[in-house]
Chains A and B, each alone.
Chain A
Amino acid sequence: MAKSTGELTGVYIREHTKKKERNKKKKKQTEVVLLGSILPVLLFILWEFLSRQGVFPAYQLPAPSAVFSAILDMAATGALWEHISITVYRVFAGFLFGTIAAVLLGSLVGFYQKAEHIFDPIIQAFRSIPSLAWVPLFILWMGIGESSKITMIAVGVFFPVYLNLVSGILGVDRKLIEVGKMYKLTPLQQVRRIILPASLPSFFVGVRSGLGLGWMFVVAAELMGASQGLGYLLVLGQNTLSPETIIASIILFAFIGKSTDWLLKILEARSLYWQDRFAKT
């Protein structure tokens, strides 16, 4: 009886300390968010102030309040969501195809030296072509619709993911491979139990920079010819001489791009919890 009460208090205390730790963690997180917002908030205030003072002419740099009211106007008509969702869809689809292609080819090249000899030279050659140079060709082949845009984004995403995955696989510590050999792992087991987890950090570096490039390329694709999307808003703003639309689009790009990268970062931290790093997320 006495023992069980002791255990119960033990459990209670543990729960309690856990809660305390969680609270501490939350506190730290809010602190990080607060610190990070100091500069943007100050910048916005300064910008608003200077705009009202008439330092920036409104036809060149409208005040943040004007930009936000432009965003709110679009939100009210529902146009904003259509622009955002079509752009996010393009980035996501291109990112998905580009990553899948990169994983397939990258694994092949990483694991089989013959495949490396066959594929790597031509991939390296293609890499040195600035990806935007493909745009006219893709439009010629696939028209101005979604497929040419998504293909373009996929091409942009492909290279960083591919390159980082290959270098991750080729860079797996020989010493760990030897541990696998000592336990007589089959080649497939070597891949699954040692090479894949060991190359995961490098893969994530590739995926994150691939996503960044995806966002860059969606702008290019939508500038070329689109009737919807955040990139189209840039063209629209230029043609209708409304800088607030352009700035609204830029801000939305920054915000959504950062959010997707943040999601990937969380995924990365979850998968790489075992890493011994200076910066802990």
Chain B
Amino acid sequence: MSLTLRNVSRTFAGASAVRNISLSVQPGEIVGLLGTSGCGKSTILRAISGLDDGYEGEIEINGNTAKEVHDTTGFIFQEPRLLPWLTVLDNVIFGLKGEHADKQKRAKEYIADVGLEGKEKLYPRQLSGGMAQRVAIARALVTSPEILLLDEPFSALDAFTKMQLQDLLLDVWKTYQSTVVLVTHDIDEATYLCDRIVILRGQPGEIDREITLTEQRPRKRGSEELARYKADILESLNLDRARSIT
């Protein structure tokens, strides 16, 4: 299992969104795409997922460069995007194929994994934001994707739920050893979760630099090492200067 981007560019109606992105992700690695809004993080993720096939360049997933959705990728969106007419269980089953009994059993396991045991029969309208996002995580994981793509998955949640779900993500990552590409604008989230942080800058977005984090897991939130990384990242994002301009 491998993921490689070669010179990926994307233009929307003549305006270039990202330019010449080349990136290679190791199996089992958690890579974070970090940058201010509008620098094309989500554009890159959508190109990898195959939801967007209008990019130039090449994206290779397991040696396959077809511009389509691959069976081996799972996507967790910024919003839960649950189907409101299906129960929690049926939402998780949604992407599974095969015998109904098998699907149910498998879905139930994953629902338990995300800590929602006993909530299988609820409808999305009965769930809190954090619970709904857990269901979305279970739905993405249940197909055992080798590559998990996350588009600011926790940005709409409160700080406590966010931390819980970050730990949940690390747990499932440990169990299933998927490769993870995480788009985020939260520096703390990136330093807590990622093996490597790719910083995007500019418009059109280009890779500014990559930071490899060697810190062992479990990491401590607010530890000195992570704070140092954060300072480093803030410096390269050059936010101070941006503020003095405006």
Contacts and interface: CB of A to CB of B under 8 A. Distances in A.
B51 interface: yes
B221 interface: no
A197 interface: yes
B84 interface: yes
A184 B71 contact: yes
A197 B95 contact: no
A274 interface: yes
Given A182-B69, A274-B123, A275-B125, A176 B81 contact: yes
B95 A182 contact: yes
A181 B68 CA distance: 10
Contacts, number: 45
B160 interface: no
Given A175-B77, A274-B123, A275-B125, A183 B94 contact: yes
A213 B73 CA distance: 50
Interface string B78-117: 0101011110000000110000000000000000000000
B81 A179 contact: yes
Contacts of B95: 182-183
A42 B173 CA distance: 69
Interface in B37-90: 49, 51, 69, 71, 73-75, 77, 79, 81, 83-86
Interface in B111-166: 123-125, 143
Interface string A170-187: 000001101101111000
Given A274-B125, A275-B125, A182 B85 contact: no
A113 to B, nearest CB: 19
Contacts of B85: 197-198, 200, 274
Please report whether the interface of chain A is mostly helix, strand, loop or mixed according to DSSP. Answer: helix
Nearest to A175: B81
Interface residues of B, number: 20
Contacts of A181: 51, 69
Interface in A129-165: none
A194 interface: yes
Contacts of B84: 274-276
Contact of A179 (B83, B123, B143): B83
Contacts of B83: 176, 179, 193-194, 197
Contacts of B71: 184
Interface string A270-281: 000111100000
A208 B211 CA distance: 60
Interface in A193-207: 193-194, 197-198, 200
26 contacts: A175-B81, A176-B81, A178-B51, A179-B81, A179-B94, A181-B51, A182-B49, A182-B51, A182-B69, A182-B74, A182-B95, A184-B71, A193-B83, A193-B94, A194-B83, A197-B85, A198-B85, A200-B85, A273-B123, A274-B85, A274-B86, A274-B123, A274-B124, A274-B125, A276-B84, A276-B125
Interface of A: 175-176, 178-179, 181-184, 193-194, 197-198, 200, 273-276
The 10 A-B residue pairs whose C-beta atoms are closest, nearest first, are A276-B125, A183-B95, A274-B85, A197-B85, A182-B75, A274-B123, A179-B81, A274-B84, A175-B81, A184-B69
Given A181-B69, A182-B73, 18 more contacts: A175-B79, A176-B81, A178-B51, A178-B77, A178-B81, A179-B83, A179-B94, A181-B51, A182-B69, A183-B94, A183-B95, A183-B143, A184-B69, A184-B71, A274-B85, A274-B124, A276-B124, A276-B125
